[in-house]
Amino acid sequence: MNKNTALHTSPEGKKALQGATGFLSEDFLLQTETARQLYHEYAKRLPIIDYHCHLSPEVIARNEPFANMTDIWLAGDHYKWRALRTLGIAEKYITGDASDEEKFVKWAEAVPYTLRNPLYHWAHMELKNPFGITELLSGDNGLEVYAHCNRLLQQPAFTPQGLLARFNVEMVGTTDDPVDNLYFHQQIAASPLDIKVLPSFRPDKALNLSGGEAFRKYMLQLSEASAVNITSIDTLLEALQQRINYFHENGCRLADHGLAYLPLPGNNTANLEKAFAAVLSGNDEGVAAYQNEFSGFILVELCKMYARKGWVQQFHLGALRNTNARMLQVNGPDTGYDSIGDFPQAASMAAFFNELESSNQLARTIIYNLNPADNAAFAAMTGNFQQSGIKGKMQFGSAWWFLDQLDGMKAQINALSNMGLLSCFIGMLTDSRSFLSYSRHEYFRRLLCNMFGDDIEQGALPADIPWIGKMVQDICYYNAKNYFPLD
Protein backbone atom coordinates (compact mmCIF):
# COMPACT_ATOMS: atom_id res chain seq x y z
CA MET A 1 0.00 0.00 0.00
CA ASN A 2 1.13 3.60 -0.47
CA LYS A 3 2.18 5.88 2.39
CA ASN A 4 -1.25 7.43 2.73
CA THR A 5 -3.01 4.09 3.26
CA ALA A 6 -0.29 2.02 4.91
CA LEU A 7 -1.39 -0.61 7.39
CA HIS A 8 0.50 -1.54 10.51
CA THR A 9 1.49 -5.12 11.22
CA SER A 10 2.74 -6.87 14.30
CA PRO A 11 6.38 -8.05 14.40
CA GLU A 12 5.08 -11.48 13.49
CA GLY A 13 3.26 -10.03 10.48
CA LYS A 14 6.34 -8.15 9.32
CA LYS A 15 8.42 -11.28 9.68
CA ALA A 16 5.90 -13.18 7.58
CA LEU A 17 6.13 -10.54 4.89
CA GLN A 18 9.92 -10.61 4.90
CA GLY A 19 9.79 -14.38 4.49
CA ALA A 20 7.35 -14.18 1.60
CA THR A 21 9.89 -13.25 -1.06
CA GLY A 22 8.23 -13.39 -4.46
CA PHE A 23 4.77 -14.08 -3.07
CA LEU A 24 2.21 -12.03 -4.99
CA SER A 25 4.92 -10.12 -6.84
CA GLU A 26 4.42 -9.08 -10.45
CA ASP A 27 5.91 -12.46 -11.39
CA PHE A 28 3.75 -14.52 -9.03
CA LEU A 29 3.61 -18.17 -10.24
CA LEU A 30 5.79 -17.31 -13.27
CA GLN A 31 8.85 -19.45 -12.64
CA THR A 32 10.81 -18.91 -15.85
CA GLU A 33 11.76 -15.95 -17.99
CA THR A 34 9.72 -17.41 -20.85
CA ALA A 35 6.64 -17.68 -18.64
CA ARG A 36 7.07 -14.07 -17.57
CA GLN A 37 7.35 -12.95 -21.19
CA LEU A 38 4.23 -14.87 -22.21
CA TYR A 39 2.17 -13.47 -19.37
CA HIS A 40 3.27 -9.84 -19.36
CA GLU A 41 3.45 -9.41 -23.14
CA TYR A 42 0.56 -11.60 -24.32
CA ALA A 43 -1.95 -12.54 -21.60
CA LYS A 44 -2.03 -9.87 -18.92
CA ARG A 45 -4.02 -7.10 -20.61
CA LEU A 46 -6.60 -9.14 -22.48
CA PRO A 47 -10.28 -8.46 -21.77
CA ILE A 48 -12.33 -11.04 -19.88
CA ILE A 49 -15.28 -12.95 -21.29
CA ASP A 50 -16.91 -14.44 -18.19
CA TYR A 51 -19.37 -16.70 -19.94
CA HIS A 52 -20.64 -18.44 -16.80
CA CYS A 53 -21.06 -16.89 -13.37
CA HIS A 54 -23.64 -16.32 -10.66
CA LEU A 55 -23.42 -12.56 -10.33
CA SER A 56 -26.73 -10.86 -9.62
CA PRO A 57 -28.10 -8.85 -12.57
CA GLU A 58 -30.08 -6.81 -10.04
CA VAL A 59 -26.89 -5.80 -8.22
CA ILE A 60 -25.26 -4.85 -11.54
CA ALA A 61 -28.29 -2.87 -12.68
CA ARG A 62 -28.73 -0.94 -9.43
CA ASN A 63 -24.97 -0.31 -9.22
CA GLU A 64 -25.19 0.73 -5.58
CA PRO A 65 -22.07 0.76 -3.38
CA PHE A 66 -21.47 -2.38 -1.36
CA ALA A 67 -22.22 -1.97 2.33
CA ASN A 68 -18.81 -3.21 3.43
CA MET A 69 -16.18 -5.90 2.80
CA THR A 70 -18.26 -8.61 4.41
CA ASP A 71 -21.08 -7.80 2.00
CA ILE A 72 -18.90 -8.09 -1.11
CA TRP A 73 -16.39 -10.71 0.05
CA LEU A 74 -17.93 -13.14 2.54
CA ALA A 75 -21.68 -13.18 1.91
CA GLY A 76 -22.65 -16.32 0.00
CA ASP A 77 -19.06 -17.60 -0.28
CA HIS A 78 -19.29 -21.25 0.72
CA TYR A 79 -15.57 -21.77 -0.04
CA LYS A 80 -14.74 -19.48 2.88
CA TRP A 81 -17.56 -20.84 5.01
CA ARG A 82 -16.22 -24.41 4.72
CA ALA A 83 -12.75 -23.26 5.80
CA LEU A 84 -14.16 -21.41 8.81
CA ARG A 85 -16.15 -24.47 9.87
CA THR A 86 -13.06 -26.66 9.51
CA LEU A 87 -11.30 -24.35 11.97
CA GLY A 88 -14.16 -24.79 14.41
CA ILE A 89 -15.44 -21.21 14.11
CA ALA A 90 -18.96 -20.84 15.49
CA GLU A 91 -21.68 -20.64 12.83
CA LYS A 92 -22.65 -17.30 14.36
CA TYR A 93 -19.61 -15.79 12.60
CA ILE A 94 -20.28 -17.57 9.30
CA THR A 95 -23.99 -17.43 8.41
CA GLY A 96 -25.30 -16.30 11.80
CA ASP A 97 -26.18 -13.02 13.47
CA ALA A 98 -22.71 -11.69 14.28
CA SER A 99 -22.01 -8.20 12.97
CA ASP A 100 -20.37 -7.79 9.59
CA GLU A 101 -17.24 -6.47 11.27
CA GLU A 102 -17.06 -9.49 13.60
CA LYS A 103 -17.47 -11.85 10.64
CA PHE A 104 -14.67 -10.13 8.74
CA VAL A 105 -12.30 -10.29 11.71
CA LYS A 106 -12.98 -14.02 12.14
CA TRP A 107 -12.15 -14.51 8.47
CA ALA A 108 -8.97 -12.42 8.82
CA GLU A 109 -7.91 -14.56 11.78
CA ALA A 110 -8.56 -17.70 9.72
CA VAL A 111 -6.61 -16.71 6.59
CA PRO A 112 -3.11 -17.59 7.90
CA TYR A 113 -4.39 -21.12 8.55
CA THR A 114 -5.48 -21.56 4.92
CA LEU A 115 -1.91 -21.93 3.61
CA ARG A 116 -1.80 -24.25 0.57
CA ASN A 117 -5.55 -23.98 0.12
CA PRO A 118 -6.42 -21.85 -2.95
CA LEU A 119 -8.28 -19.52 -0.59
CA TYR A 120 -4.91 -18.20 0.60
CA HIS A 121 -3.93 -17.18 -2.92
CA TRP A 122 -7.39 -15.88 -3.84
CA ALA A 123 -7.73 -13.82 -0.66
CA HIS A 124 -4.45 -12.00 -1.14
CA MET A 125 -4.91 -11.55 -4.89
CA GLU A 126 -8.33 -10.00 -4.27
CA LEU A 127 -6.94 -7.68 -1.61
CA LYS A 128 -4.10 -6.58 -3.90
CA ASN A 129 -6.41 -5.98 -6.85
CA PRO A 130 -8.48 -3.86 -6.53
CA PHE A 131 -7.74 -2.65 -2.99
CA GLY A 132 -3.96 -2.21 -3.28
CA ILE A 133 -3.22 -4.20 -0.11
CA THR A 134 0.02 -6.16 -0.26
CA GLU A 135 0.28 -7.15 3.39
CA LEU A 136 -0.65 -10.63 4.52
CA LEU A 137 -4.10 -10.65 6.09
CA SER A 138 -4.38 -11.85 9.69
CA GLY A 139 -6.15 -11.10 12.93
CA ASP A 140 -3.50 -8.48 13.65
CA ASN A 141 -4.49 -6.19 10.78
CA GLY A 142 -8.04 -7.38 10.08
CA LEU A 143 -9.77 -4.29 11.44
CA GLU A 144 -7.43 -1.94 9.55
CA VAL A 145 -7.92 -3.85 6.30
CA TYR A 146 -11.68 -3.81 6.86
CA ALA A 147 -11.73 -0.03 7.40
CA HIS A 148 -9.44 0.67 4.43
CA CYS A 149 -11.48 -1.45 2.02
CA ASN A 150 -14.77 -0.05 3.30
CA ARG A 151 -13.59 3.46 2.47
CA LEU A 152 -12.69 2.44 -1.07
CA LEU A 153 -16.00 0.64 -1.55
CA GLN A 154 -17.80 3.98 -1.36
CA GLN A 155 -15.96 5.29 -4.43
CA PRO A 156 -17.49 5.02 -7.94
CA ALA A 157 -14.66 2.76 -9.16
CA PHE A 158 -15.71 0.14 -6.59
CA THR A 159 -19.40 -0.15 -7.41
CA PRO A 160 -20.48 -3.35 -9.21
CA GLN A 161 -20.15 -1.72 -12.64
CA GLY A 162 -16.96 0.05 -11.62
CA LEU A 163 -15.35 -3.24 -10.60
CA LEU A 164 -16.38 -4.95 -13.85
CA ALA A 165 -14.73 -2.12 -15.78
CA ARG A 166 -11.64 -2.21 -13.57
CA PHE A 167 -11.14 -5.92 -14.26
CA ASN A 168 -11.56 -5.30 -18.00
CA VAL A 169 -14.64 -7.51 -18.26
CA GLU A 170 -16.20 -7.49 -21.71
CA MET A 171 -19.06 -9.92 -21.17
CA VAL A 172 -20.85 -11.41 -18.16
CA GLY A 173 -23.05 -14.48 -18.51
CA THR A 174 -25.38 -14.70 -15.52
CA THR A 175 -27.39 -17.78 -14.53
CA ASP A 176 -31.16 -17.32 -14.73
CA ASP A 177 -34.26 -19.41 -14.16
CA PRO A 178 -36.74 -19.75 -17.05
CA VAL A 179 -39.44 -17.99 -14.99
CA ASP A 180 -37.28 -14.87 -14.52
CA ASN A 181 -38.76 -11.79 -16.19
CA LEU A 182 -35.23 -10.52 -17.01
CA TYR A 183 -36.23 -7.05 -15.87
CA PHE A 184 -32.77 -6.15 -14.65
CA HIS A 185 -31.13 -7.46 -17.82
CA GLN A 186 -33.43 -5.17 -19.75
CA GLN A 187 -32.42 -2.26 -17.53
CA ILE A 188 -28.74 -2.98 -18.12
CA ALA A 189 -29.23 -3.33 -21.88
CA ALA A 190 -30.93 0.08 -21.97
CA SER A 191 -28.21 1.74 -19.87
CA PRO A 192 -24.94 3.35 -21.06
CA LEU A 193 -22.93 0.40 -19.67
CA ASP A 194 -20.76 -0.95 -22.50
CA ILE A 195 -20.22 -4.33 -20.80
CA LYS A 196 -22.53 -7.05 -22.08
CA VAL A 197 -24.52 -8.69 -19.27
CA LEU A 198 -26.43 -11.56 -20.85
CA PRO A 199 -28.79 -14.09 -19.27
CA SER A 200 -28.22 -17.84 -19.40
CA PHE A 201 -31.13 -20.29 -19.37
CA ARG A 202 -30.97 -22.69 -16.36
CA PRO A 203 -34.01 -25.04 -16.45
CA ASP A 204 -32.96 -27.52 -13.74
CA LYS A 205 -36.19 -27.13 -11.74
CA ALA A 206 -38.27 -28.16 -14.74
CA LEU A 207 -36.53 -31.55 -14.80
CA ASN A 208 -37.17 -32.48 -11.17
CA LEU A 209 -40.31 -34.64 -11.49
CA SER A 210 -39.74 -36.18 -8.05
CA GLY A 211 -39.57 -32.77 -6.37
CA GLY A 212 -43.05 -33.03 -4.83
CA GLU A 213 -44.76 -29.78 -3.86
CA ALA A 214 -41.75 -27.72 -4.96
CA PHE A 215 -42.09 -29.16 -8.48
CA ARG A 216 -45.83 -28.50 -8.61
CA LYS A 217 -45.30 -24.94 -7.41
CA TYR A 218 -42.66 -24.46 -10.09
CA MET A 219 -45.00 -25.74 -12.81
CA LEU A 220 -47.50 -23.06 -11.76
CA GLN A 221 -44.79 -20.39 -11.92
CA LEU A 222 -43.71 -21.61 -15.36
CA SER A 223 -47.33 -21.60 -16.55
CA GLU A 224 -47.74 -18.01 -15.43
CA ALA A 225 -44.45 -16.84 -16.94
CA SER A 226 -45.11 -18.50 -20.31
CA ALA A 227 -48.91 -17.95 -20.47
CA VAL A 228 -49.24 -21.68 -21.21
CA ASN A 229 -51.48 -23.87 -19.04
CA ILE A 230 -49.23 -26.84 -18.24
CA THR A 231 -51.36 -29.98 -18.14
CA SER A 232 -49.22 -32.41 -20.15
CA ILE A 233 -45.68 -32.99 -21.35
CA ASP A 234 -46.51 -31.31 -24.65
CA THR A 235 -47.70 -28.17 -22.88
CA LEU A 236 -44.64 -28.26 -20.61
CA LEU A 237 -42.44 -28.26 -23.70
CA GLU A 238 -44.53 -25.48 -25.22
CA ALA A 239 -44.04 -23.39 -22.08
CA LEU A 240 -40.28 -23.99 -22.11
CA GLN A 241 -40.12 -23.03 -25.80
CA GLN A 242 -41.96 -19.80 -25.02
CA ARG A 243 -39.42 -18.97 -22.33
CA ILE A 244 -36.51 -19.81 -24.63
CA ASN A 245 -37.96 -17.45 -27.21
CA TYR A 246 -38.28 -14.74 -24.57
CA PHE A 247 -34.74 -15.27 -23.31
CA HIS A 248 -33.43 -15.18 -26.88
CA GLU A 249 -35.16 -11.84 -27.48
CA ASN A 250 -33.36 -10.54 -24.39
CA GLY A 251 -29.87 -11.53 -25.53
CA CYS A 252 -29.59 -15.05 -24.17
CA ARG A 253 -27.36 -17.33 -26.22
CA LEU A 254 -26.33 -19.90 -23.58
CA ALA A 255 -28.05 -22.57 -21.52
CA ASP A 256 -26.64 -24.23 -18.43
CA HIS A 257 -27.52 -27.33 -16.44
CA GLY A 258 -26.28 -28.62 -13.09
CA LEU A 259 -26.77 -32.39 -12.98
CA ALA A 260 -25.27 -35.40 -11.26
CA TYR A 261 -24.94 -37.00 -14.71
CA LEU A 262 -26.61 -36.73 -18.11
CA PRO A 263 -29.84 -38.75 -17.91
CA LEU A 264 -30.74 -41.35 -20.48
CA PRO A 265 -33.82 -40.22 -22.41
CA GLY A 266 -36.96 -42.28 -22.05
CA ASN A 267 -38.91 -43.33 -25.13
CA ASN A 268 -42.11 -44.57 -23.49
CA THR A 269 -43.92 -41.26 -23.57
CA ALA A 270 -47.24 -42.84 -22.56
CA ASN A 271 -45.81 -43.89 -19.19
CA LEU A 272 -44.11 -40.52 -18.77
CA GLU A 273 -47.41 -38.75 -19.48
CA LYS A 274 -49.15 -40.83 -16.82
CA ALA A 275 -46.41 -40.13 -14.29
CA PHE A 276 -46.43 -36.39 -15.06
CA ALA A 277 -50.22 -36.21 -14.81
CA ALA A 278 -50.14 -38.06 -11.48
CA VAL A 279 -47.57 -35.65 -10.08
CA LEU A 280 -49.54 -32.61 -11.22
CA SER A 281 -52.59 -34.03 -9.43
CA GLY A 282 -50.59 -34.36 -6.20
CA ASN A 283 -49.79 -38.09 -6.37
CA ASP A 284 -46.04 -38.73 -5.96
CA GLU A 285 -46.30 -42.48 -5.39
CA GLY A 286 -43.75 -44.37 -7.47
CA VAL A 287 -42.62 -41.25 -9.30
CA ALA A 288 -38.94 -41.81 -8.47
CA ALA A 289 -38.91 -44.68 -10.95
CA TYR A 290 -39.63 -42.23 -13.77
CA GLN A 291 -37.31 -39.40 -12.71
CA ASN A 292 -34.35 -40.33 -14.93
CA GLU A 293 -36.47 -41.03 -18.02
CA PHE A 294 -38.50 -37.87 -17.56
CA SER A 295 -35.51 -35.58 -17.08
CA GLY A 296 -33.74 -37.23 -20.01
CA PHE A 297 -36.73 -36.81 -22.33
CA ILE A 298 -37.31 -33.16 -21.40
CA LEU A 299 -33.60 -32.34 -21.56
CA VAL A 300 -33.21 -33.84 -25.04
CA GLU A 301 -36.15 -31.76 -26.26
CA LEU A 302 -34.65 -28.64 -24.67
CA CYS A 303 -31.32 -29.31 -26.36
CA LYS A 304 -33.08 -29.51 -29.72
CA MET A 305 -34.59 -26.09 -29.02
CA TYR A 306 -31.14 -24.71 -28.18
CA ALA A 307 -29.75 -26.08 -31.44
CA ARG A 308 -32.49 -24.40 -33.45
CA LYS A 309 -31.65 -21.08 -31.77
CA GLY A 310 -27.91 -21.48 -32.31
CA TRP A 311 -27.22 -21.42 -28.57
CA VAL A 312 -24.33 -22.96 -26.63
CA GLN A 313 -25.31 -25.56 -24.03
CA GLN A 314 -23.32 -26.23 -20.85
CA PHE A 315 -23.45 -29.26 -18.56
CA HIS A 316 -21.93 -29.09 -15.08
CA LEU A 317 -21.80 -32.73 -14.00
CA GLY A 318 -20.83 -34.64 -10.90
CA ALA A 319 -21.88 -32.67 -7.80
CA LEU A 320 -23.17 -34.59 -4.78
CA ARG A 321 -25.46 -32.00 -3.25
CA ASN A 322 -26.96 -31.37 0.19
CA THR A 323 -25.05 -34.14 1.94
CA ASN A 324 -25.71 -32.80 5.46
CA ALA A 325 -29.46 -33.04 6.07
CA ARG A 326 -29.37 -31.34 9.47
CA MET A 327 -27.48 -28.31 8.21
CA LEU A 328 -29.63 -28.18 5.07
CA GLN A 329 -32.57 -27.61 7.40
CA VAL A 330 -30.66 -24.91 9.29
CA ASN A 331 -28.99 -22.98 6.45
CA GLY A 332 -30.67 -24.15 3.25
CA PRO A 333 -28.96 -25.21 -0.03
CA ASP A 334 -25.74 -23.76 -1.47
CA THR A 335 -24.24 -23.06 1.95
CA GLY A 336 -21.20 -25.33 1.83
CA TYR A 337 -22.46 -28.89 2.22
CA ASP A 338 -22.06 -30.15 -1.34
CA SER A 339 -19.24 -32.43 -2.45
CA ILE A 340 -17.60 -34.34 -5.29
CA GLY A 341 -19.74 -37.22 -6.50
CA ASP A 342 -18.50 -40.48 -8.01
CA PHE A 343 -21.31 -41.04 -10.51
CA PRO A 344 -20.68 -43.05 -13.71
CA GLN A 345 -20.53 -40.52 -16.54
CA ALA A 346 -19.18 -41.75 -19.87
CA ALA A 347 -21.82 -44.23 -21.12
CA SER A 348 -24.85 -42.04 -20.43
CA MET A 349 -23.06 -38.97 -21.80
CA ALA A 350 -22.22 -40.76 -25.04
CA ALA A 351 -25.80 -42.01 -25.40
CA PHE A 352 -27.22 -38.54 -24.70
CA PHE A 353 -25.03 -36.77 -27.24
CA ASN A 354 -25.56 -39.54 -29.78
CA GLU A 355 -29.33 -39.13 -29.46
CA LEU A 356 -28.97 -35.50 -30.50
CA GLU A 357 -26.25 -36.09 -33.09
CA SER A 358 -28.33 -38.78 -34.85
CA SER A 359 -30.76 -36.08 -36.00
CA ASN A 360 -28.07 -33.40 -36.41
CA GLN A 361 -29.42 -31.43 -33.43
CA LEU A 362 -26.37 -31.36 -31.16
CA ALA A 363 -25.60 -27.73 -30.34
CA ARG A 364 -22.19 -26.37 -29.41
CA THR A 365 -21.53 -27.97 -26.05
CA ILE A 366 -19.33 -27.45 -22.99
CA ILE A 367 -18.98 -30.23 -20.41
CA TYR A 368 -17.51 -29.70 -16.93
CA ASN A 369 -16.62 -32.47 -14.49
CA LEU A 370 -16.36 -32.17 -10.72
CA ASN A 371 -14.62 -35.49 -10.10
CA PRO A 372 -10.95 -35.27 -11.19
CA ALA A 373 -11.04 -38.99 -11.97
CA ASP A 374 -13.26 -38.09 -14.95
CA ASN A 375 -10.79 -35.71 -16.63
CA ALA A 376 -9.62 -38.12 -19.33
CA ALA A 377 -13.12 -39.45 -20.03
CA PHE A 378 -14.55 -35.95 -20.47
CA ALA A 379 -11.65 -34.78 -22.60
CA ALA A 380 -11.90 -37.86 -24.83
CA MET A 381 -15.69 -37.59 -25.14
CA THR A 382 -15.49 -34.20 -26.82
CA GLY A 383 -13.55 -35.71 -29.73
CA ASN A 384 -16.43 -38.06 -30.56
CA PHE A 385 -18.82 -35.27 -31.53
CA GLN A 386 -16.78 -32.51 -33.15
CA GLN A 387 -18.14 -31.09 -36.39
CA SER A 388 -16.53 -30.01 -39.63
CA GLY A 389 -16.65 -26.24 -40.05
CA ILE A 390 -16.92 -25.42 -36.32
CA LYS A 391 -13.68 -24.94 -34.40
CA GLY A 392 -13.85 -26.72 -31.07
CA LYS A 393 -17.61 -27.31 -31.18
CA MET A 394 -17.39 -29.71 -28.24
CA GLN A 395 -15.46 -28.24 -25.31
CA PHE A 396 -13.99 -29.86 -22.20
CA GLY A 397 -14.70 -26.94 -19.88
CA SER A 398 -12.33 -25.36 -17.41
CA ALA A 399 -11.68 -26.86 -13.99
CA TRP A 400 -14.82 -26.32 -11.93
CA TRP A 401 -15.69 -25.69 -8.28
CA PHE A 402 -13.46 -27.91 -6.13
CA LEU A 403 -11.04 -28.16 -9.07
CA ASP A 404 -10.50 -24.48 -9.98
CA GLN A 405 -7.16 -24.39 -8.17
CA LEU A 406 -3.61 -24.84 -9.44
CA ASP A 407 -3.55 -28.64 -9.40
CA GLY A 408 -7.07 -28.94 -10.78
CA MET A 409 -6.54 -26.44 -13.59
CA LYS A 410 -3.21 -28.02 -14.51
CA ALA A 411 -4.78 -31.50 -14.62
CA GLN A 412 -7.63 -30.25 -16.83
CA ILE A 413 -5.19 -28.51 -19.19
CA ASN A 414 -3.02 -31.63 -19.41
CA ALA A 415 -5.97 -33.94 -20.06
CA LEU A 416 -7.27 -31.62 -22.77
CA SER A 417 -3.80 -31.33 -24.30
CA ASN A 418 -3.39 -35.10 -24.43
CA MET A 419 -6.87 -36.04 -25.63
CA GLY A 420 -7.77 -33.00 -27.74
CA LEU A 421 -6.40 -29.65 -28.83
CA LEU A 422 -5.54 -27.11 -26.16
CA SER A 423 -5.26 -24.50 -28.94
CA CYS A 424 -9.07 -24.62 -29.34
CA PHE A 425 -9.88 -24.24 -25.64
CA ILE A 426 -12.22 -21.38 -24.64
CA GLY A 427 -10.49 -20.81 -21.32
CA MET A 428 -11.47 -19.71 -17.85
CA LEU A 429 -14.66 -18.48 -16.19
CA THR A 430 -15.42 -17.39 -12.63
CA ASP A 431 -18.54 -19.48 -11.78
CA SER A 432 -18.75 -17.12 -8.82
CA ARG A 433 -21.19 -14.90 -6.93
CA SER A 434 -18.48 -12.38 -6.06
CA PHE A 435 -17.42 -9.29 -7.99
CA LEU A 436 -13.89 -9.81 -6.66
CA SER A 437 -13.46 -13.27 -8.19
CA TYR A 438 -12.06 -11.97 -11.48
CA SER A 439 -8.61 -12.63 -10.05
CA ARG A 440 -9.33 -16.25 -10.97
CA HIS A 441 -8.82 -15.30 -14.62
CA GLU A 442 -5.42 -13.86 -13.69
CA TYR A 443 -4.68 -17.02 -11.69
CA PHE A 444 -5.50 -19.18 -14.73
CA ARG A 445 -3.51 -17.03 -17.13
CA ARG A 446 -0.43 -17.09 -14.92
CA LEU A 447 -0.61 -20.87 -14.59
CA LEU A 448 -1.15 -21.34 -18.34
CA CYS A 449 1.86 -19.17 -19.20
CA ASN A 450 3.97 -20.95 -16.61
CA MET A 451 3.10 -24.35 -18.11
CA PHE A 452 4.02 -23.22 -21.61
CA GLY A 453 7.17 -21.56 -20.25
CA ASP A 454 8.27 -24.77 -18.53
CA ASP A 455 7.75 -26.79 -21.71
CA ILE A 456 9.74 -24.32 -23.79
CA GLU A 457 12.66 -24.09 -21.38
CA GLN A 458 12.80 -27.87 -21.02
CA GLY A 459 12.93 -28.28 -24.80
CA ALA A 460 9.54 -29.98 -25.00
CA LEU A 461 8.20 -27.13 -27.17
CA PRO A 462 9.99 -24.84 -29.63
CA ALA A 463 10.92 -21.37 -28.43
CA ASP A 464 8.54 -19.77 -30.92
CA ILE A 465 7.27 -17.05 -28.63
CA PRO A 466 5.11 -15.22 -31.19
CA TRP A 467 3.23 -18.39 -32.14
CA ILE A 468 2.82 -19.71 -28.59
CA GLY A 469 1.98 -16.18 -27.40
CA LYS A 470 -0.82 -16.12 -29.97
CA MET A 471 -2.06 -19.49 -28.72
CA VAL A 472 -2.07 -18.14 -25.15
CA GLN A 473 -4.12 -15.15 -26.30
CA ASP A 474 -6.57 -17.41 -28.10
CA ILE A 475 -7.09 -19.57 -25.01
CA CYS A 476 -7.43 -16.59 -22.69
CA TYR A 477 -9.77 -14.52 -24.87
CA TYR A 478 -10.12 -14.91 -28.63
CA ASN A 479 -11.40 -18.50 -28.73
CA ALA A 480 -14.26 -17.58 -26.38
CA LYS A 481 -14.98 -14.38 -28.29
CA ASN A 482 -15.34 -16.38 -31.50
CA TYR A 483 -17.14 -19.37 -29.94
CA PHE A 484 -20.12 -17.60 -28.41
CA PRO A 485 -22.76 -15.96 -30.64
CA LEU A 486 -22.68 -12.68 -28.74
CA ASP A 487 -23.54 -10.24 -31.54
Q: pLDDT tens digits, residue range 292-326? A: 999 999 999 999 999 999 999 999 999 999 999 99
User: How many CB atoms neighbour CB 229 within 10 A?
Assistant: 11
Residues 404, 302: Cα–Cα separation, whole Å: 29
Q: What is the pLDDT at residue 476?
A: 98
Q: Which residues contact 360 (CB under 8 A, 6 or more apart)?
A: none
Domain range 207-483, CATH architecture: Alpha-Beta Barrel (3.20)
Mean predicted confidence (pLDDT) in 336-361: 97
Q: What is the pLDDT at residue 251?
A: 97
Beta bridge partner(s), residue 396: 367
- Coil, helix or strand for 109? helix
Q: Are 100 and 142 in contact (CB under 8 A)?
A: no
Q: Are 209 and 291 in contact (CB under 8 A)?
A: yes
Domain locations along the chain: 65-158, 207-483
Q: Are 371 and 340 in contact (CB under 8 A)?
A: yes
Residues 336, 119: Cα–Cα separation, whole Å: 14
Residues 359, 348: Cα–Cα separation, whole Å: 18
**pLDDT surpasses 80 at 420:** yes
Beta bridge partner(s), residue 320: 339
Mean predicted confidence (pLDDT) in 425-442: 96
Q: What is the DSSP string of 49-86?
A: EE-S----HHHHHH-PPPS-HHHHHTTT-HHHHHHHHH
pLDDT band at 6 (very low <50, low <70, confident <90, very high): very low
Query: Measuring CA to CA, which residue among 201, 223, 238, 202 is closest to residue 280?
Result: 223
In CATH terms, the superfamily for domain 65-158 is: uronate isomerase, domain 2, chain A (1.10.2020.10)
Q: What is the pLDDT at residue 7?
A: 52
**pLDDT surpasses 70 at 374:** yes
pTM of the predicted structure, to 2 decimals: 0.94
Q: What is the pLDDT at residue 18?
A: 35
Mean predicted confidence (pLDDT) in 65-92: 97
Kindly report, residue by residue over 434-444, the tens digit of the pLDDT. Answer: 999 999 999 99
**pLDDT surpasses 50 at 2:** no
Kindly report, residue by residue over 195-254, the tens digit of the pLDDT. Answer: 999 999 999 999 999 999 999 999 999 999 999 999 999 999 999 999 999 999 999 999
Residue 400 phi/psi, 5-degree rounding, is -120, 135
Ranking 143-157, 228-242, 326-340 by mean pLDDT, the lowest is 326-340
Kindly report, residue by residue over 23-53, the tens digit of the pLDDT. Answer: 999 999 999 999 999 999 999 999 999 999 9
Residues 480, 48: Cα–Cα separation, whole Å: 9
| Sequence-distant contacts of 208-211: CB under 8 A, at least 24 apart | 208/291, 208/295, 209/275, 209/276, 209/279, 209/287, 209/290, 209/291, 209/294, 209/295, 210/284, 210/287, 210/288, 210/291
**pLDDT surpasses 60 at 14:** no
